[in-house]
Structures are given as C-alpha cells and as structure tokens.
Amino acid sequence: MAPLKLGMVGGGQGAFIGGVHRMAARLDGCFDLVAGAFSSDPARAHASAAELGVAASRSYADFKDMAKAEAARPDGIDAVSIVTPNHLHGPIAEAFLAQDISVICDKPMTATLAQATSLLAVAQVSKGHFFLTHNYTGYPMIRQARQMVVEGALGEIRIVEANYLQDWLSVSPAEDNKQAKWRTDPAQSGGGAIGDIGTHAHNLACFVLGQRATSLSATLTSHVTGRLVDDDARISVQFAGGAQGHIWASQVAIGNENNLTLAVYGTKGSLRWAQENPNILWFTQLGHAPQMITRGGTAASSAASAVTRIPAGHPEGYLEAFATLYREAAAVISSQGKLGGTIGIQDALDGVLFVDACQRSSQGGASWIDLRPSI
Amino acid sequence: MAPLKLGMVGGGQGAFIGGVHRMAARLDGCFDLVAGAFSSDPARAHASAAELGVAASRSYADFKDMAKAEAARPDGIDAVSIVTPNHLHGPIAEAFLAQDISVICDKPMTATLAQATSLLAVAQVSKGHFFLTHNYTGYPMIRQARQMVVEGALGEIRIVEANYLQDWLSVSPAEDNKQAKWRTDPAQSGGGAIGDIGTHAHNLACFVLGQRATSLSATLTSHVTGRLVDDDARISVQFAGGAQGHIWASQVAIGNENNLTLAVYGTKGSLRWAQENPNILWFTQLGHAPQMITRGGTAASSAASAVTRIPAGHPEGYLEAFATLYREAAAVISSQGKLGGTIGIQDALDGVLFVDACQRSSQGGASWIDLRPSI
Amino acid sequence: MAPLKLGMVGGGQGAFIGGVHRMAARLDGCFDLVAGAFSSDPARAHASAAELGVAASRSYADFKDMAKAEAARPDGIDAVSIVTPNHLHGPIAEAFLAQDISVICDKPMTATLAQATSLLAVAQVSKGHFFLTHNYTGYPMIRQARQMVVEGALGEIRIVEANYLQDWLSVSPAEDNKQAKWRTDPAQSGGGAIGDIGTHAHNLACFVLGQRATSLSATLTSHVTGRLVDDDARISVQFAGGAQGHIWASQVAIGNENNLTLAVYGTKGSLRWAQENPNILWFTQLGHAPQMITRGGTAASSAASAVTRIPAGHPEGYLEAFATLYREAAAVISSQGKLGGTIGIQDALDGVLFVDACQRSSQGGASWIDLRPSI
Amino acid sequence: MAPLKLGMVGGGQGAFIGGVHRMAARLDGCFDLVAGAFSSDPARAHASAAELGVAASRSYADFKDMAKAEAARPDGIDAVSIVTPNHLHGPIAEAFLAQDISVICDKPMTATLAQATSLLAVAQVSKGHFFLTHNYTGYPMIRQARQMVVEGALGEIRIVEANYLQDWLSVSPAEDNKQAKWRTDPAQSGGGAIGDIGTHAHNLACFVLGQRATSLSATLTSHVTGRLVDDDARISVQFAGGAQGHIWASQVAIGNENNLTLAVYGTKGSLRWAQENPNILWFTQLGHAPQMITRGGTAASSAASAVTRIPAGHPEGYLEAFATLYREAAAVISSQGKLGGTIGIQDALDGVLFVDACQRSSQGGASWIDLRPSI
C-alpha cells in the first residue's frame, strides 16, 4: 500500500523523541513525513523542516494553523505525530482531531486529568483515531507474553511485577539539559518519574495481563534535594482478576540505564522479560526447567511472529518496537486493521487516571484509591 | 588451634538444615561433633548418632538431659548447634545457655516475641555466647558490600532493595514433605515466608547498611488456598539514616529457586548482588561504567579477602558462607575473635521484632509500626 | 540533504536479505527506493515492484537493462543494492559500475576469486563506489572496539577470537527452504559456512584490529550427510602485527541462533562482545575489575557515539547497524563523507581471498597459505 | 562409616592446593588428617603439622620415611594426598603404593611420560588405589552432562569444545609468587598452560564424552617474553566415535579468572556449561527453546543428584566438587564403592600422554599425533 502522509508537531532541532518517531514512522515505509510544526520558535521550526526534507509551504509556526491548513489541502496529512512536552499534548491533539486528522501521540495522553477529559470528548466525535505510543508494547516478546497470559499458559495470575529503573536524574540536571528540564518541571510534565516512566510500567502490566487495575496505593518520593517532582515511585495495584501488581519506577537508581523489567507469576508458570535485552522471554512451568524463548525462535508464538521482521539471533530493538506501533496505526487508519496491539484512547486515559491516583494516594499517605472505570 | 567440641540438637535422619550445619562446622576444621540429641524420637536419635560417628554415650533423647550431662563432663561440648523447627529454638537455647554452653542457632531466634524476650534474659546472664546463623552474611561479596557502604563508596544511601524469591511452596506441599509441613504450620514456624526467608532479607539489608530499621509497613498474603501462613510478603522499611528499604519475600514465585538479591542505591553509586551467583558484586559509580567485582579478584576488599578461601574464579558457595559463620563463632568462643560479621543476640532479637511487626502491620492494613529499640 | 535514489537487484517476494537492505536504506531517510530488478522471474519482479511502491516503468526483468536504462535517465538511480545469491554479485556489480552507478553489495563480493578479480578491474575505472555490507561492522560497540584497539587501550594484541555459531543447518533443509537451498549449493554460494558466516567473522576480526591477515590454516567440515559444502570451519590466522587469530564458524551448533562473538586479548587488556546482545562491550584492564561499556553510556567513545541514534538502555539492533552502513555509503556517494567504517573494494576482495585460501588450505590438510596482498 | 585416616605430602605453609585438598577431605567427614610430610624443609614441615593438628610423632621430614613408618603402624594411614609440584608426584606416589597405601594425587599424574610409565608399573602390583583429582569432574552438572551424552540425549556427538582461560600469567610473575614460579619452570611442572589447565580441559571433554581421544594436533605458544613454558595452547582432537574436539587453554587471556567452559554439540541437541557458574547446565534440543537445568532442580538427573548436597538455588562450588572426589575415593578404598566418577590410573596416564603428544605435535608444526592406547 502507498505510504500515508504524516505531519509532526514538536521534534525540532535538539529534541529527542521526535527523531525516534520519525525513524519509527519510516522503518516500515508506512508513512512519509510531509508537514510539521517542529518548534514553537518559528526560525527553529523552519530550519528543522528544511533539514527534514519537509517543503517550506508545509512548515508551520503554529500547530493550530497547521491543523486547519492541512485539513484544507486535498493532499493533507492522514495523521499527525505529537512529540512535544506533555502539557501540550492535549491542546494539539484536540486541534487535529477536530479536523478529523488521526493523532499518534507520545505518552502520556496529557499532563492533567482535566486535559484528558477534554481530549476524550473531542476524540469521541472525531473521525480521526487517537493512538498513544506506549512503545514497549511493540516488542515481540511482550506480544507473546500477553498471548501466553491470556491463553492461560501461566494459570491464574497471582503477581505482576513491573520495574522501570533509570539513573539519569540521580543528581540535579545541568542547566542546558533540555530533556531533564521540562521533565522535572511539574507545569510541563504533570509529574516526575511517575508520569515519565511509571506510566510505561503500568501500561505494560495492564497490556500483558489484558486487564485494568481497579485500585492502587502509591508512595512518591523526591530523593534529589530541591526537586519539585517525584523521582522514585512505588505503587501497589489490585487487578480485577485478583492479581497483585507492584510497580517501582525510579530515576535515581544508579547503574540502571533504561531497565524496564516485567515478571508475571501465575499458579502454573511464570514469565520474565527485560527491555534492555528484549529478544528473550523466560518461561518457567512449575516443575520444569526454565526455558529461554527467543524472538523469531522455535518457541515464538503467533502474536510475536506477527511483529517480527528478521530471523532469530538478529536482535531487534527499541526502534523496531516503536515502528510496530506506527505500522499498526497505519493499518487502522487505512481501515485495513484493527486496534490489535495499539494503545487507544481508553488505555491512554487509564494512564492519566493512574498518575492522578498515584499523586492523590501518595499525598494521602499511600491510601488506597479506586480507579474509576474509564469515562 | 584444636577444634572445639560441638553438640547438636535436631538434625537427625530426614532433616535438611542439620546436615548443612555439620558440613559448615567441619569445613574449616574448627569443630568436632561429639554429642547430640538428634531427634525427639529416641530410636531415630540414636540411629542418627551412630551414622554421624557420635558415641552412644553422648547420644541423648532429650535436650535438657544433654545440656546437663555435657555441662557436667570434663570434656563437655563448647557449643551446641540448634537445628530444630523454630518453636523449639527458644527452650533449647535457654537450656544450654543456662549451663554456660554457647549456642549456634539456626534462624529465626524463636517463633514468638515472648520466647525471644525470655531467651534474651537468659542469654544476658550466661557465660555462653549466642549466635544466629543468618548465613547469607557470610558471603565474601556481602562483606565487601557492607564495607563499601560503611566506608562511603556509595555516598548517602537512598534505597535498599532486598528480594528473596522461591517457588517451592507454589502449591500445597505433599503430605510427606517434612520441610514444607512444619514451615507452613504457624504453631511450629511462627510465620510463613516472612519468618522463613523475609527475615534473611531484612537481616541482609540491615547488615550491609550497618543500620537498624526504625519502622515498617507490611502486607502479608497467602496465595495458596487453605494455607495458614503467609507465602508472600511485601515490606517497606525506614532506616534511621534516611534510607528507604523494600523487601519482597515470596515462596510462590515460579522460576525462582533461592533467588535472594540485594541492591543498594546511594547518591554516588550502587551495588547489586545475587545469591545464586554469589561470587560477583556489581558496583556502579555515577557517571562510570558498571564494574564486576569478583570474590578473590583484583577489586576485592579486605573484608571480602578475610573470608575468602580459594582464588578468584573458583566459585565458593552456600556452604562456604555458612562455614565462615562457624569459623567466626569458634574464634569468639575461643576468645580469639570478636563478633565481627557474626550475628549476635541483639540482631537475632531484631529479626523476631521484625516478624512480629510485619504481622501486626499487615493485620492493620499495612499500617506503619515503630520498631522499638532492642530490649 | 535530499535522499539519494536507490535501485535494487534481487530481494523480491520470498527473499530475506532484500527486506533487510530496504529497511536499512530507509531508517535514516538517506535513500528512496525508486527502481528494481527484484527477481529473474519477470512476473515476480513486477509484482514485487508494485508491492514495494516502485513505478512499473522502473521495474525491470533484467539487471543489464536496468543498468543501462537507469544510467540513461536524468533522474536515474545514484546507487544499486545487490541482494541476490552470491554467484550473481559479480556480473551485476560490473554492469552497474560500468555505468558509473555506485554499488552496495551484500557479502560476499563474489562467489569465486576469478569473479572478484574481474570485478576489481571494473571497479577501478568506474566513477561509482563499491560497498560491501559486512553489517556487523556497523554496531556502535564494534566501532568502539576498533577505536580502543587502534588507540592502544589493550596494548599489543596477542589473540583475536571470532566465533560465529548458528544451528539452522543442523539437519538437511526442507525442500522448500529457499534460503537454505542456495546457500548449500556450491555453484550458487561458492562455499558453505565459510562463505556465509566465516567471512563475517574474518572481516570483523580484521576490522577491529585494523590489520589484514597474512596467512591462515583452515579445516572445513561437512557434518551433515550428503551436504556438498562445509557446515563448520576452523581457521587459524596470523596477523602482520604478530597477533594470532582464531575463527570458528558453524551452522550445526545447536542452541546458537546467530551467535557471533569477538574477543581481543592484548598485553594490557581485553575486549569481549556478542552480537546477540550488541549494546554491551566488556573491557578488562589487567589488574582491574571488568567494566561493562554500553552503547550510549558514559564510557562510550567518540566512534561509538558517531553511529548511535538513541540513548543508552534503549537497545539498537541488527537493522540499525545495517542502516549505519547505508548512511555512511550515502555520505560517500554524496561526497560528504569518507569511507570511515564502510567496507570498500579492497576489504571485499580480502573476503574472497580468505574463502579461497581456506578452501585450499583445508584440501591440503590444514596447510598454511599465504594471503597475497590485495591485487 | 568411620572416617579413613589420611596423610599428606606437600601442602605446608604458603601452599595453595594443599589447603584445598584438606577442606575437600574434611567436608563430608570421610577422612581425618593424621600424618604428613608437609614440606621438604623440616622446620616448615613440623610447624605446618602443628598448625594442622597433626601429632608431632606423625610429622615427617621425608616422604619415604613417612611411607615406611605409616605402613608399619597398626593405625597407619589408609591413603595419602600428594599436593607437591608436579615433578615429585611420581616418586612420592610410588613410595606409598609400594607400601599398599592408596594415593590421592593432584593432577597431573607426573611431570614426564617416563615417570608415568614407572608409576603405572608400581600401581599395577599395589593393593593401594591411585586417584587423580581432576576436580572439575566432581561438579553435579558435569555428571549430568556425562549421563545425558552417554544416554544419547544429544544424538551422535559432532563437536566438543573445552576452553580453559585464565589471566594470572599475563605478565611475568613477581619473584615471590611461589605458585607462578614452579608452574613456569619446566623442570618442576613439565609444561605450562598445557599441563596446568589444558589437561583439565582434555580430561573434562573425555569424561563427558565417555571416550578417549585417538589423535591430536597442537600449537603451544609462549606470549610472555622470556617464558620457558607455553602460556597458550590450541589443540584439535579426534575422538574414536567421530567427534571433533577443540581445546583452548590460555593463561594470558585478560579478563578470565578461571573460565573453564564446555560445550557439546550432537545431532539432536547440545549442552553448555561454565565452571564459574557451575550450578547451571544449558540444554537445547534441536527445534526447541534452550532449557536451563539447575543442580538440585526439577530437571536434574540421577547422576547429578547423587553428588548434590544441598537444594537448588543454594550454590555449591569448587570445594564441594573436589570433596565429591574424596568421598568417592573413600568409598572405593573402603570397598563400598566403585570407581564411578573418579579418575583412576588409566585416565591419569591419558593426561600425561596428552601433554606429551601436544608438545611433540607443536614442535612438529601442529602435526597430527596418534595417542597410543593406554599402556
């Protein structure tokens, strides 16, 4: 099929995640980047557009102008990627969805629950789709884990453990560290470790279990003196099916680069996975030796194979997993696919509810908070 | 120096930990086993004695008789190892301490806090020493971790994570599994996973930090239907120095055999260690590549070297670590050493206080419980 | 810069490596695929072109027609990727180089030494460049290894060990396994494990050492009954600088998927690397603890950083390493770069000389064969 | 059963392997050390005896006196451990075997083939047994590997790979390094890496295969300037059953402490094992996910269980494997066992033949040498 036309908001010079989205969009040839509002600074926006091969006529200084102009073009964009700081996700997504342009949004959905509620209302009447890039769900071994859990290979699930450890915020960031600055500014991020990485861990646990959490108790901590957001979060989660979940997200755990791990323990077996070596899934059946299942290998499942590009032993990484979300979004937008592995608006909202509940729980001394059903 | 004379209570045919203590006592040649009350069943006791090369004249059917008889002999035992189910530790230890015979007791100190208080009173007036075999403290890399933490290599400690995962109680044990049976009987064990393995994790965290915990919040769970004790325990701990501790002990985590791990995160660096591959200690300084420190290797510290028997790359294991405690106990009893790495009566009491506080906290909905200063 | 225009020969429906080249060409946006002769079967060629979004007018049934037609177009391709079975590499490359179109060729350069000699002559008078995709040289940690070796971090090199183990040819392949069939047909492949993977190991050792091998002794074995090519190869190599090299390539080593490993031992230190977990490089200095250097991490070198796309802990894989070669080729073709990490015609020829020497050595009872200086 | 009475020759103050033998002899309570000629220096010999609790009356300055005196005593030793430098093994073993006292000898059997031939003749007419402590054969997972190979779990064996890498001789040893000095003196050691560690690798491969090697080709190298013995050895071995063996022994491989690894590849499956983490055995069946078999775990075999002391996840190490050989020797000497896993005189001789053949092959340019059937 012909590539879809993609726009982007954010992701200009000096940004990190914008480049990731562009590579992910490009890898499988499903999207061509043809328009963008790459920066709120017009000069930087246009310079970025030129660098990225986007025509000057489709380089915008303002995302609202872009939404309107692209909607008006006969060859307007099919979808827009939003890769700005968190507090802008909501307004931008609304602007494009209001024009029936699909949105592929970096997580979290929004910085606040109010923004999320507003966005949900807009999304529900748009002809565009809303996708949230919880990219870790794109790993083949995560797809296999989900399939095995849902198909009962582990029996009844007792315990889910999702830890996401980093160390890059172990000290106060340097003044010129743009990434660190907005992430530790509550007004721009909406939260610290809990929003930046805790949501990934929460989403991953829910995704693999195929269940929503019903309540939680959280303790958010700021270890670095003077920091205005949490840099370490511990959350206990209860799932509808009876499983206990435990999430630990930390950005001060020295020696951890991007150490997201998942373990699922059931009555009959367990699974263990680590993002830094993502092509392996450990499976142990009670009473048997642990097995090392590999992406592309002889024990890979249909769900894993569906998102595998190259043979076993040829490692796929972070960008490939990310690209899978783009490929799946393209299929949905082209009406050739169904949501499948992708994260839609309800899951996105769950993430915002999660952060909000964690913050309230922690303020209340780790009190248990009900997670209301998605709005 | 000539070997000390050792007695043993418990550890007859069919027992597990008794054999471990005997091998540990023997490895460094510090003890000769010369007396025992190996079972409460006289026939089994005497058969065990014969098997173990203990003279019939010093095989006893009752530990009280043994304590008195050995105290009366000119060549009586210097120390007794107690390797019975938990609820007997207290009475037996008291009987020998009352005769000024030193006690080397398997953990926990006692099954109840009342027993511990009683034993403490006896110990305080005895000329004998009391040692608790928290054997994981005998690993050279744990000694190094403690030394590095205390000397400040990690800066100020922020987080301590001690997880102890097993899977052997994932289902109800078979009727003939003697080990499982007494451990899941609250009257004999005093607790489930929290007492059996949670205490090891707690002790290890305190040992490496060189600090006592001041308060805790615990959630104990029984995942297996019909089980009368907990089989999974989550505990948050506060240390006097400001560090947060987190302990997870589980006996239903399929795929884990005896997976005790420790991680310590400070402001300047971190340490990570895993019992199943105990000759390695991971050390990361902020801003530097992780280093793999090995037992006996070039980066081993003086505290590690002091308890290392053989060169780097020749793995030492569980029995060697256990034997180190016996060697250190022998040195103390012979008045040639000081407590050093060994766990004495105050640390032992801390373990019982810990279990008691966890049980009360869990019953109170994970309420925070002050750990009173040792009595 | 604007993307270059890329053609492809081979890589139609059912092929493996063609898809890899396309993803690699696309990832960094340096190439647009605009023409192809995707199969020697015209129907399959055109169907593949349609699937890949290549205009029918630029879908060719014959590579010679393609070379001429594209050279004649004002918007003709800048480069062609050759992804056919080995015995066709030479003729195809010559056809395009004769038209001054650059060639990006899957390894090996050719199936025979005679073909290589012929191609070299054509390349030397062409304005086009010739690149061989020894893709493992694109890994950031391999770039760092090369930099560290060349800069002397290991001292004088004593030993290089390059092993490449697979198991997918442990039994005779099924009739319908297209990949296995041509690779085990000497007329199409020019060799078995030695050509398919041994050349990668040889190239990697030379690349990291920054040296050519001067002589070798090889033993090629066919373990599977009836196989006409080797499936296991052991080679000892002597380097000019005095280092010993050892290469083991096997396609019958059950339990190995694509297990390419490299170890370099010098007088002052060593490096170890494994392709299946490629973001890590182990570095040990004599007398110090081993260090785990990570791609993107604090100990990454300038050469590694130059080919790193995303932060530490976000794994890059096989496709990213492959894409680096395409990006570097694009820079050379655009005259904005120099060969740098890419493998040019002399290194390509070395690979064919290596296979030829291995086959002669093995036939001569592992006799030592001089590797003549590149022609 | 009552402990046997053990003597020791060598192993006085400052020695390494003597202490290992004593711990190994003691661990299972099968031997009491009651006599010794601990040093050729009488003062050191007697001081060592006193330290080790050996009566002055049974501390000897000369091994010949010891053999005679102990043979004459009614309570004389049942066996003697020989833990001297290699060139003394032969004469000492002969002295004790001549008195019908069993010998437990550190490897290799002797420093020269002539000594071995002489010793064999003495052993064949002695009532004493001769055991060689190839201690790595005592690891439970090695016993399991042997059982699985012999029982056909891997099919027909194609390839055996045994590598033994160390780095402690990467530079010329300091003058006061007693261990390094005698090992690098050909007169005392009989060889370098080939004899010190290559023999272990050779023995391990033969032990697990249950086969003798029939021919070999070897290249011995001295990397360190001025060294009189090899410090790196590469050997290709042919087995009677058709398998190829490859051995690499190096003492200059920086970053390796005592890295002995074994891999066995058959037509149906493979096994992999590493001494530094010896409680794990990797088993892959063709077409299935690799399995991690653990000592004491659910997939442990009868041969592994027979030499396992403690439960899964409680690591056993080097000393435990060594102690298994002592326990098995005790059983043979007491006539309650059969050779089983222990290495007797024929295997011991094979080791000397191996070293001799390697040295001759290397001098002959890696020529193939027939290994004559044991004498």
Average pLDDT over residues A206-220: 96
Q: Which CATH class is domain C141-310+345-363?
A: alpha beta
Q: How far apart are CA B107 and CA B85, in angstroms?
A: 10
Nearest Cβ partner of A253 from B159, B232, B254? B159
Residues of A in contact with B248 (CB under 8 A): 246
Go through C268-301 and write b for each residue having 16 or more CB atoms within 10 A of its CB, e for each that does not: bbbbbbbbbebbbbbbbbbeebbbbbbbbbbbbb
Nearest residue to A71 via CA among A28, A123, A13, A127: A127
What pLDDT, on a 0 to 100 scale, did the predictor assign at position C337? 60
Residue of chain A minimizing CA distance to B243: A223
What pLDDT, on a 0 to 100 scale, did the predictor assign at position C208? 97
Q: How far apart are CA C364 and CA C218, in angstroms?
A: 9
What pLDDT, on a 0 to 100 scale, did the predictor assign at position D339? 54
Which tens digits make up the pLDDT trace of B244-269? 999 999 999 999 999 999 999 999 99
Which helix (H) or strand (E) segment is C241 a member of? none
What pLDDT, on a 0 to 100 scale, did the predictor assign at position C338? 59
Q: Outline where DSSP puts E strands in chain B.
A: 4-10, 31-37, 79-83, 102-105, 130-132, 157-165, 213-221, 232-239, 244-250, 259-266, 269-274, 280-285, 291-294, 369-370
Conformational region of residue D73, where left means phi above 0, alpha means psi within -120 to 50, and beta covers everything else = beta
The distance of B291 to chain C (nearest Cα, Å) reads 5
Q: How far apart are CA C322 and CA C342, in angstroms?
A: 11
Residues of B in contact with C297 (CB under 8 A): 289
Q: CA A362, A364, A367, A372 torsion: positive or negative?
A: negative
Which of the residues D28, D135, D276 would you substitute to probe the B interface, choosing the one with the greatest number of B C-beta atoms within 10 Å?
D276
The distance of A254 to chain B (nearest Cα, Å) reads 6
Which of the residues D292, D295, D301 would you substitute to probe the A interface, choosing the one with the greatest number of A C-beta atoms within 10 Å?
D292
Q: How far apart are CA B158 and CA B162, in angstroms?
A: 14
Residue of chain D minimizing CA distance to C253: D265
Which tens digits make up the pLDDT trace of C79-123? 999 999 999 999 999 999 999 999 999 999 999 999 999 999 999
Residue of chain C minimizing CA distance to B287: C298
What pLDDT, on a 0 to 100 scale, did the predictor assign at position B183? 77
Are A69 and A96 contacting, i.e. CB atoms less than 8 angstroms apart? Answer: no
Q: Which of A105-119, A335-349, B71-85, B326-340 has the lowest mean pLDDT?
A: A335-349
| Cβ within 8 Å, pair B254-A270 | yes
The distance of C255 to chain B (nearest Cα, Å) reads 21
Residue of chain A minimizing CA distance to B223: A158
The distance of D312 to chain C (nearest Cα, Å) reads 24
Residues of B in contact with D309 (CB under 8 A): 19, 23, 319
Pair type for strands C79-83 and C4-10 = parallel
Helices of type H across chain C: 17-27, 42-51, 63-72, 89-97, 113-125, 140-150, 178-183, 186-189, 193, 199-209, 302-305, 318-333, 345-363
| Cβ within 8 Å, pair A291-D291 | yes
Q: Which CATH class is domain A139-312+345-363?
A: alpha beta
Name all chains with 3 or more CB-CB pairs below 8 Å to chain D: A, B, C
Q: How far apart are CA B84 and CA B108, in angstroms?
A: 11
Residues of D in contact with C290 (CB under 8 A): 255
Q: How far apart are CA A211 and CA A156, in angstroms?
A: 13
* pTM for this entry: 0.96
Sorted by where each begins, the domain ranges of chain D are: 4-132, 138-274+279-310+345-363
| Cβ within 8 Å, pair B316-D316 | no
| Cβ within 8 Å, pair B298-C290 | no
Which of the residues A167, A254, A271, A276 would you substitute to probe the B interface, choosing the one with the greatest number of B C-beta atoms within 10 Å?
A254
Nearest Cβ partner of C23 from A257, A277, A309? A309
Nearest residue to D228 via CA among D117, D359, D107, D114: D359
Reply yes or no on whether the pLDDT at A57 is more than 60. Answer: yes
Q: How many CB atoms lie within 10 A of CB C346?
A: 15
Q: Which of A347-361, B172-186, D304-318 has the lowest mean pLDDT?
A: B172-186
Q: How far apart are CA A308 and CA C25, in angstroms?
A: 18
Which tens digits make up the pLDDT trace of D162-214? 999 999 999 987 767 777 777 788 887 778 999 999 999 999 999 999 999 99
Tokens standing for B140? 């050279």
Are B107 and B129 contacting, i.e. CB atoms less than 8 angstroms apart? Answer: no
| Cβ within 8 Å, pair A319-C318 | no
Q: How far apart are CA D63 and CA A280, in angstroms?
A: 58
What pLDDT, on a 0 to 100 scale, did the predictor assign at position C183? 77
Helix (H, G, I), strand (E, B) or coil at A258: coil
Q: How far apart are CA B91 and CA B153, in angstroms?
A: 43
What pLDDT, on a 0 to 100 scale, did the predictor assign at position C188? 78
B342 vs C142, higher pLDDT: C142
Reply yes or no on whether the pLDDT at B330 is more than 80. Answer: yes
Q: How far apart are CA C104 and CA C325, in angstroms?
A: 9
Q: How many CB atoms lie within 10 A of CB B241?
A: 12
Nearest Cβ partner of C310 from A27, A313, A319? A319
Residue of chain A minimizing CA distance to D291: A291
What pLDDT, on a 0 to 100 scale, did the predictor assign at position B168? 94
Q: How far apart are CA C370 and CA D142, in angstroms?
A: 41
What pLDDT, on a 0 to 100 scale, did the predictor assign at position C185? 81
Name all chains with 3 or more CB-CB pairs below 8 Å to chain A: B, C, D
Sheet of A102-105, strand order: A31-37, A4-10, A79-83, A102-105, A130-132
Please list the residues that pair with C5 across neighbouring strands: C32
What pLDDT, on a 0 to 100 scale, did the predictor assign at position B22? 97
Tokens standing for C63? 């590579």
Reply yes or no on whether the pLDDT at A189 is more than 90. Answer: no
Residues of D in contact with B313 (CB under 8 A): 166, 256-259, 275-276
Amino acid at B97: L
What pLDDT, on a 0 to 100 scale, did the predictor assign at position A14? 77
Which tens digits make up the pLDDT trace of B194-210? 999 999 999 999 999 99
Which helix (H) or strand (E) segment is A214 a member of? strand A213-221
| Domain B139-309+346-363 listed as CATH 3.30.750.24 | no
Residue of chain A minimizing CA distance to B282: A255
Phi, psi of C157 (to 5 degrees): -80, 130
Nearest Cβ partner of A158 from B223, B248, B270? B223
What pLDDT, on a 0 to 100 scale, did the predictor assign at position D181? 77
Average pLDDT over residues B67-93: 97
Phi, psi of B130 (to 5 degrees): -120, 125
Residues of B in contact with D6 (CB under 8 A): none
Q: How far apart are CA B285 and CA B214, in angstroms?
A: 28
Name all chains with 3 or more CB-CB pairs below 8 Å to chain C: A, B, D
Reply yes or no on whether the pLDDT at A341 is more than 90. Answer: no
The distance of B160 to chain D (nearest Cα, Å) reads 22
- How far lies D156's CA from each of C253, D125, D160, D244, D270, in Å? 13, 38, 11, 12, 11
Average pLDDT over residues B142-155: 98
Q: How far apart are CA C157 and CA C148, in angstroms?
A: 11
Q: What is the average pLDDT score of chain A?
A: 94
| Cβ within 8 Å, pair C253-D159 | yes
Tokens standing for A338? 């169904």
Q: Outline where DSSP puts E strands in chain D.
A: 4-10, 31-37, 79-83, 102-105, 130-132, 157-165, 213-221, 232-239, 244-250, 259-266, 269-274, 280-285, 291-294, 369-370
What pLDDT, on a 0 to 100 scale, did the predictor assign at position C186? 81
What pLDDT, on a 0 to 100 scale, did the predictor assign at position B181? 77
Are C147 and C231 contacting, i.e. CB atoms less than 8 angstroms apart? Answer: no
Nearest Cβ partner of C298 from B289, B292, B294? B289
What pLDDT, on a 0 to 100 scale, did the predictor assign at position C352? 96
Q: How many CB atoms lie within 10 A of CB A293?
A: 23
| Cβ within 8 Å, pair D299-A288 | yes
Q: Counting Cβ atoms within 10 Å, is residue D202 exposed (0-12), middle (13-18) or buried (19+)?
A: buried
Which of the residues D148, D272, D279, D298 would you substitute to probe the A interface, choosing the one with the greatest number of A C-beta atoms within 10 Å?
D298
The distance of D170 to chain C (nearest Cα, Å) reads 7
Helix (H, G, I), strand (E, B) or coil at B47: helix
| Cβ within 8 Å, pair A234-B246 | yes
Q: Helix count (H) and strand count (E) of chain A?
A: 13, 14
Q: Which fold has domain D4-132?
A: Rossmann fold (3.40.50)
Q: How far apart are CA A201 and CA A206, in angstroms?
A: 9
| Cβ within 8 Å, pair C292-B293 | no
Helix (H, G, I), strand (E, B) or coil at A261: strand
Nearest Cβ partner of A270 from B253, B265, B284? B253
The distance of D369 to chain B (nearest Cα, Å) reads 33
| Domain D138-274+279-310+345-363 listed as CATH 3.30.360.10 | yes
| Cβ within 8 Å, pair A276-C315 | yes
**pLDDT grade for A270, boundaries at 50, 70 and 90:** very high
A45 vs D340, higher pLDDT: A45
Interface of A with B (CB under 8 A): 158-159, 167, 170-171, 217, 219, 221, 223, 232, 234, 236, 244, 246, 248, 250, 252-255, 263, 265-270, 272, 282, 284-286, 290, 366
Average pLDDT over residues B2-21: 92
Per-residue pLDDT of chain D (375 residues; tens, 9 = 90+): 689 999 999 999 877 899 999 999 999 999 999 999 999 999 999 999 999 999 999 999 999 999 999 999 999 999 999 999 999 999 999 999 999 999 999 999 999 999 999 999 999 999 999 999 999 999 999 999 999 999 999 999 999 999 999 999 999 877 677 777 777 888 877 789 999 999 999 999 999 999 999 999 999 999 999 899 999 999 999 998 899 999 999 999 999 999 999 999 999 999 999 999 999 999 999 999 999 999 999 999 999 999 999 999 999 999 999 999 999 999 999 986 655 667 889 999 999 999 999 999 999 999 999 997 655
Sheet of D102-105, strand order: D31-37, D4-10, D79-83, D102-105, D130-132
| Cβ within 8 Å, pair D313-B256 | yes
Tokens standing for B324? 């180190």
Residues of C in contact with A276 (CB under 8 A): 279, 313, 315
What pLDDT, on a 0 to 100 scale, did the predictor assign at position A337? 60
Q: CA D62, D67, D68, D73 torsion: positive or negative?
A: positive
Q: Which residues contact B336 (CB under 8 A, 6 or more apart)?
A: B1
DSSP per-residue letters across C280-307: EEEEEETTS--EEEETTSTT--HHHHTT
Tokens standing for C305? 């950083």
In this prediction the ipTM stands at 0.95
Which of the residues C235, C254, C257 would you substitute to probe the D interface, choosing the one with the greatest number of D C-beta atoms within 10 Å?
C254
Residues of C in contact with B268 (CB under 8 A): none
Q: How many CB atoms lie within 10 A of CB D72?
A: 9
CB pairs under 8 A between A and B: 84
